[in-house]
Amino acid sequence: MDGRVLIPADQFVLKVHSRCDLACDHCYVYESADQSWRGRPNAIPSDVVSHAAMRIAEHVKTHELSRVEVVLHGGEPLLVGVAGLRAIIVELESALSGLCRLDIKVHTNGVLLTERFCELFAEHHVGVGVSLDGDRTANDRHRKYRDGRSSYDPAVRAIRLLASDRFRHVYSGLLCTIDVANDPVRVYESLLELEPARLDLLLPHATWDAPPPRPAGTGTDYADWLIAIFDRWQAGGYPVRIRTFDSIIATLAGGDSGTEALGLAPVRMAVVETDGSYEQADSLKVAYDGAPATGLDVFTHSLDFVLEHPGVAARQRGVASLSATCQQCPVVSSCGGGMYAHRYKAGSGFDNASVYCADLFKLISHIGSRLPHVAQATGRAGPALSDDALAEFATGRGGASAVGQLTRAQRSLGRGLLAAVYEAGLASPVVGPRGREQLRAAWQVLAVADADCRGALDAVVGHPYLRTWAARCLAGLGFVGEAGHDDERLAADLGHLGAIAAAVAVRGRDRARLTVPVLDGAVHLPGIGRLVVGLGSPGTGGEARAAIEVEADWVRVRLGAGNWRLSRPRLLAGEPCLAEACTAEGTLTVGTGRPVAWEPVRMLTAPGIKVALEDTDPYRDCHQRPAAPRLSDEEAGRWQRSFSAAWREIQLHHAAFAPALAAGLTALTPLAPAPAGSAASAAARQGFGAIGVALPDDPVILALLLTCEFQHVKLGGVLDLYDLFDPADERQEELLQGAYAQLAASEFWRVRAGLGDRDHTEAAEQLERLLAHTAATVETLADAGSLTSLGMRFAERMRIAIAPRTKIA
Amino acid sequence: MVPTEELRPAFPSAMADLRDIPLAEMPALSLDQLGRVLGRVLPGPVANPMPSGAFQSSI
Ligand code: SF4
């Protein structure tokens, strides 16, 4: 090795069959310079599979990888047959079982894809990508059987099978090789019709010696072709993921391209041929005969040998490995010189710009100019805290301005989460075509509100349980199709985006029409309240969706035959509001219709503070104790009295904590009563700004709970932005959170001990116990060795903050 | 006031400021990319982006 650090591979292309049942004239495997396929076994022998699986497992162990992907490839992998593929999949699964997460994909031309194959893939969660070059005309230009017959019908039949409800979760996308003779928009739209989650638009493999056809003679035929699709894609609201565009956008935003075709990220893959030999990259077949060869194989060599091979190493060195022209190019971080194979020219080898250079430059520049905010905003440092704010938090305090900075960072996060759930929902197999339409309608309302009435959007995005909802959706998507997972509930959770959009519309827009799920027997307007309609929830056989129409003065809710209207001004004022039954045309009916009740989110108020008493949100049950059901008016009154008294205590005696609470505490969620005598409260990392409390009898205890729990809220916000410890060490967060809350508790009891209005001895004892405990926890943290340098300094500030508190106020 | 310079982390937040990106433009970012710009706060698939420099088939 040349002294560089070896970058492990996490993707392995396993050639399971070296022949194909089609004879596409643009195929790089058979039609290119490299003809090594001729000497290889057709189907991969079982000993090659077992050795390949063993080598991957060995690599995972050596480099402690948490996830790898294996692509079953060919030729045509389905030629191996169902039983053959099952044996390969099982071999890979058992070799990697317990070692890391294994994702298997298969790339096929689709013509042999039957239900039996799909069942196998569904059983083993194998993602299926199918090659199709567009509509019939486009596809038949190249993708034909040996006798000249079209492959279009069998391929489309296979794709429709994959897109069916039964197999949608294994349908990973379509791969289309570009031919600029085809109409780009027609190609795009015909592929879109087949509902892929992802599209790959692939530049045909070419080199300077064998350049691609350029019939238009503009010199940028491929850029122009892709730009036509990009513009359509953007105008259509990005209805599908397109890898080429995603890669460019990701690199414009300072990230990795995620593909070997673009960008500067090191290549981290290895190819295993059917005879067990390792190859560098499939695309190199286009350069010259023998170009991909490494002279290494699974029987004799570990994968580390492949990664040390000079050809692979050259593709891991980033900008340093590029030609002089590329190194000086303004778009090099997005382009990376294009695909390695496309740089080849006899004589200078790979030390050239891409044969697609002019196309790549034009395409990248176009995308950058069409997405100026993405390129600018994501390329900048994120919402960091000011020095002062960070220092204040480290002492356990933090004023209104510091908390305001955390709140702004959470807004940014909330916007990202909304987008993440929207995209995840569109791509999710649990959401059908109607569900996708509803998600698009919700997104449209949110996007317009963002431009027209940002305040309304911010209010809803700032709600603590928006993040709880998003986290639940995104976590759930990892379990789609798994036994015990409730897909119906997940679909309803994703549909809640409609309810979020409805709440934004009620707060800010003139008119909107949205579909929302019925959750926990109610139609929700998050942060505003809920209409209890008395139906079941998803997963209980009572799944239902309601339509919400926002008008100037009314909000109408339609559910089955039921039809109600609510006064929009009263909803916004948080006042009790009658849900009036209407006819289908919207006129009032008297004495008919199902009885329903509007339950507004009540506000707890005291001088200088206003907090939602959140007992309706369907995602509030995220604290350690179960959330209490909706409070009666009498119980809510008791909460208000306790809150007022607790706030008075805070303002009078613990004033240092008041500004932060007033600035950042947005919701109090009643929890189920604690076992007799014990106080119960909790803050959730995924619910910034909310505190869950089982109401104690003593307002002083409520003041203590609010003060201490808000410590967790603040520290959670800081941890969202900075690494204070090694994230792999889960105990650290618990310790740090514990010590951080104790800082506030010790301060609280120090003051109480000095007041003399309670049992002085009890307060002094509490203080002594807490101080000892906090000091010990901080020492444990510092000694554990997994604090980052910032974490060490943070802990040191905490330690210094404890010292003077031994004196009673 | 204690000088705070030393508290500055070596690395700024991994979270980009998404308040500057219009919501309408946001879906141009893929889930993988959103996972990256949102930092480590997300559970599930967004925290498991595609392998970098991944294989691009073209057959
Ligand atoms: S656009 Fe051309 S010069 Fe620039 S990096 Fe890409 S191939 Fe190299």
| Residue A723 binned pLDDT confidence (cut-offs 50, 70, 90) | confident
**Three-class SS of A424-453:** HHHHCCCCCHHHHHHHHHHHHHHHHHHHHC
The pLDDT assigned to A808 comes to 45
Angle between helix axes A46-63 and A81-96 (nearest 10 degrees) is: 30
| Residue, of A79 and B19, whose pLDDT is higher | A79
Of the listed ranges A188-202, A384-398, A705-719, the one predicted with least confidence: A384-398
Of the listed ranges A35-39, A234-238, A616-620, the one predicted with least confidence: A35-39
Give the end-to-end CA distance of chain A in Å, rounded to a whole number.
66
| Residue, of A283 and A271, whose pLDDT is higher | A271
| Residue B53 binned pLDDT confidence (cut-offs 50, 70, 90) | very low
Say yes or no to pLDDT of A798 above 90: no
Nearest CA in chain A to B36: A255
A651-668 confidence digits (pLDDT tens): 999 999 999 999 999 999
Helix H or strand E encompassing A750: helix A730-755
Of the listed ranges A224-228, A646-650, A731-735, the one predicted with least confidence: A731-735
**Residue B53 and residue A204: Cβ atoms within 8 Å?**
no
The pLDDT assigned to A583 comes to 74
In angstroms, the CA A455 to CA A190 distance is 40
Of B37, B49, B57, the CB nearest to A73: B57
Of B13, B27, B48, the CB nearest to A238: B27
Residues of A with Cβ-Cβ distance to B30 under 8 angstroms: 241, 246, 249-250, 423
How many whole angstroms from A360 Cα to the centroid of ligand 1? Answer: 7
Cβ–Cβ < 8 Å for A773, A742:
yes
A597 CA: distance to closest CA in chain B (Å): 34
DSSP H helices in A592-657? 633-653
| Residue, of A97 and A431, whose pLDDT is higher | A97
**Residue B45 and residue A477: Cβ atoms within 8 Å?**
yes
Question: How many CB contacts within 8 angstroms connect chain A with chain B?
Answer: 261
B33 CA: distance to closest CA in chain A (Å): 6
In angstroms, the CA A321 to CA A318 distance is 6
How many whole angstroms from A325 Cα to the centroid of ligand 1? Answer: 7
**Fold for the domain defined by A11-372:** TIM Barrel (3.20.20)
Of B29, B39, B57, the CB nearest to A175: B57
Nearest to A497 by CA among A414, A572, A418, A410: A418
The pLDDT assigned to A500 comes to 97
Of the listed ranges A92-101, A242-251, A264-273, A616-625, the one predicted with least confidence: A264-273
Nearest to B44 by CA among B29, B30, B32: B32
| Residue A284 binned pLDDT confidence (cut-offs 50, 70, 90) | confident
The pLDDT assigned to A614 comes to 96
The pLDDT assigned to A711 comes to 94
Of A381, A424, A457, the CB nearest to B31: A424
| Residue A387 forms contact with B (CB below 8 Å) | yes
A57-66 confidence digits (pLDDT tens): 999 999 999 8
List all residues whose CB is within 6 A of at least one atom of ligand 1. A 325-326, 329, 331-332, 335, 337-338, 353-354, 357, 360-361
The pLDDT assigned to A591 comes to 54
Cβ–Cβ < 8 Å for A600, A592:
no
Q: Which of A474, A622, A797 to mutate to test the interface with B (most CBs of B within 10 A)?
A: A474
Residues of A with Cβ-Cβ distance to B14 under 8 angstroms: 382
The pLDDT assigned to A138 comes to 81
Q: Which atom of ligand 1 is nearest to the CA of A361?
A: 1
The pLDDT assigned to A682 comes to 87
| Residue, of A332 and A280, whose pLDDT is higher | A332
Q: Which residue has the tokens 């990319």?
A: B33
Give, for ligand 1, the residue of A207, A226, A322, A325 to mutate: max count of ligand atoms closer than 8 Å to Cβ: A325
Q: Determine the 3-state secondary structure of A599 from DSSP.
A: strand
Interface of A with B in 675-734 (CB under 8 A): 720-723, 727
Q: Which residue has the tokens 């096929």?
A: A108
- For residues A44-68, give the mean pLDDT: 93
The pLDDT assigned to A136 comes to 87
Percent of all residues in chain A with a pLDDT value above 90, rounded to a whole number: 49
Cβ–Cβ < 8 Å for A597, A532:
yes
Of B4, B31, B52, the CB nearest to A391: B4
The pLDDT assigned to B45 comes to 42
Residues of B with Cβ-Cβ distance to A200 under 8 angstroms: 56-58
| Residue, of A225 and A751, whose pLDDT is higher | A225
Of the listed ranges A210-224, A499-513, A635-649, A758-772, the one predicted with least confidence: A758-772
Would the ipTM clear 0.85, i.e. be above it? no
Residues of B with Cβ-Cβ distance to A387 under 8 angstroms: 4-5, 7-8
The pLDDT assigned to A540 comes to 41
The pLDDT assigned to A24 comes to 66
**Residue B26 and residue A415: Cβ atoms within 8 Å?**
yes
Nearest CA in chain A to B2: A391
| Residue, of A128 and B6, whose pLDDT is higher | A128
Of B17, B31, B43, the CB nearest to A382: B17
Nearest CA in chain B to A717: B41
How many whole angstroms from A208 Cα to the centroid of ligand 1? Answer: 14
Cβ–Cβ < 8 Å for A240, A192:
yes
Q: Which residue has the tokens 């060995």?
A: A58
Say yes or no to pLDDT of A462 above 90: yes
* Mean pLDDT rounded to a whole number for chain A: 86
Would you state the torsion angle of the CA atoms of residues A275, A280, A282, A286, taken in this order, to the nearest 10 degrees?
Answer: -110
Residues of B with Cβ-Cβ distance to A419 under 8 angstroms: 18, 23, 26-27, 29, 34
| Residue, of A86 and A384, whose pLDDT is higher | A86
Of B2, B29, B45, the CB nearest to A374: B29
Say yes or no to pLDDT of A1 above 50: no
A771-789 confidence digits (pLDDT tens): 888 888 878 877 777 788 8
Of the listed ranges A62-71, A473-482, B42-51, the one predicted with least confidence: B42-51
Percent of all residues in chain A with a pLDDT value above 70, rounded to a whole number: 90
How many whole angstroms from A35 Cα to the centroid of ligand 1? Answer: 29
Say yes or no to pLDDT of A183 above 60: yes
Nearest CA in chain A to B48: A67
**Residue A374 and residue B13: Cβ atoms within 8 Å?**
no
| Residue B55 binned pLDDT confidence (cut-offs 50, 70, 90) | low
Say yes or no to pLDDT of A480 above 80: no
Q: Determine the 3-state secondary structure of A405 from DSSP.
A: helix
The pLDDT assigned to B12 comes to 43
Give the other-Cβ count within 10 Å of A447's Cβ. 22
The pLDDT assigned to A515 comes to 95
Say yes or no to pLDDT of A735 above 50: yes
**Residue A790 and residue B52: Cβ atoms within 8 Å?**
no
Give the other-Cβ count within 10 Å of A547's Cβ. 17
The pLDDT assigned to A474 comes to 84
The pLDDT assigned to A309 comes to 82
Say yes or no to pLDDT of A560 above 90: no
Q: Which atom of ligand 1 is nearest to the CA of A360?
A: 1
The pLDDT assigned to B44 comes to 45
| Residue, of A265 and A47, whose pLDDT is higher | A47
| Residue A208 binned pLDDT confidence (cut-offs 50, 70, 90) | very high
The pLDDT assigned to A99 comes to 92
Q: DSSP characters for A207-242?
A: -SSSPPP-TT-SS-HHHHHHHHHHHHHHHTT--SEE
A514-557 confidence digits (pLDDT tens): 999 999 889 999 999 999 987 654 444 445 889 999 999 999 99
Nearest to A209 by CA among A96, A350, A88: A350
Interface of B with A in 3-42 (CB under 8 A): 4-42
What ranges do the domains of chain A cover?
11-372, 428-600, 606-806
Specify whether the backbone of A537 is left (phi greater than 0), alpha (psi in -120 to 50) or beta: beta
Say yes or no to pLDDT of A103 above 50: yes
The pLDDT assigned to A478 comes to 66
A429-438 confidence digits (pLDDT tens): 778 888 889 9
The pLDDT assigned to A5 comes to 67
- For residues A631-641, give the mean pLDDT: 96
**Residue B58 and residue A205: Cβ atoms within 8 Å?**
yes
Q: Which atom of ligand 1 is nearest to the CA of A336?
A: 5
**Residue B38 and residue A417: Cβ atoms within 8 Å?**
yes
The pLDDT assigned to A781 comes to 77
- For residues A743-747, give the mean pLDDT: 87
Task: Rank A246-255, A402-411, A669-678, B18-27 by mean pLDDT and report only the highest.
Answer: A402-411
- For residues A302-317, give the mean pLDDT: 81
Side-chain-side CA neighbours of residue A467 (13 Å): 26
B8-50 confidence digits (pLDDT tens): 443 444 556 777 788 998 899 888 778 776 756 665 444 333 4
The pLDDT assigned to A33 comes to 59
How many whole angstroms from A333 Cα to the centroid of ligand 1? Answer: 9
The pLDDT assigned to A23 comes to 64
Strand partners, A609: A606
In angstroms, the CA A183 to CA A162 distance is 26
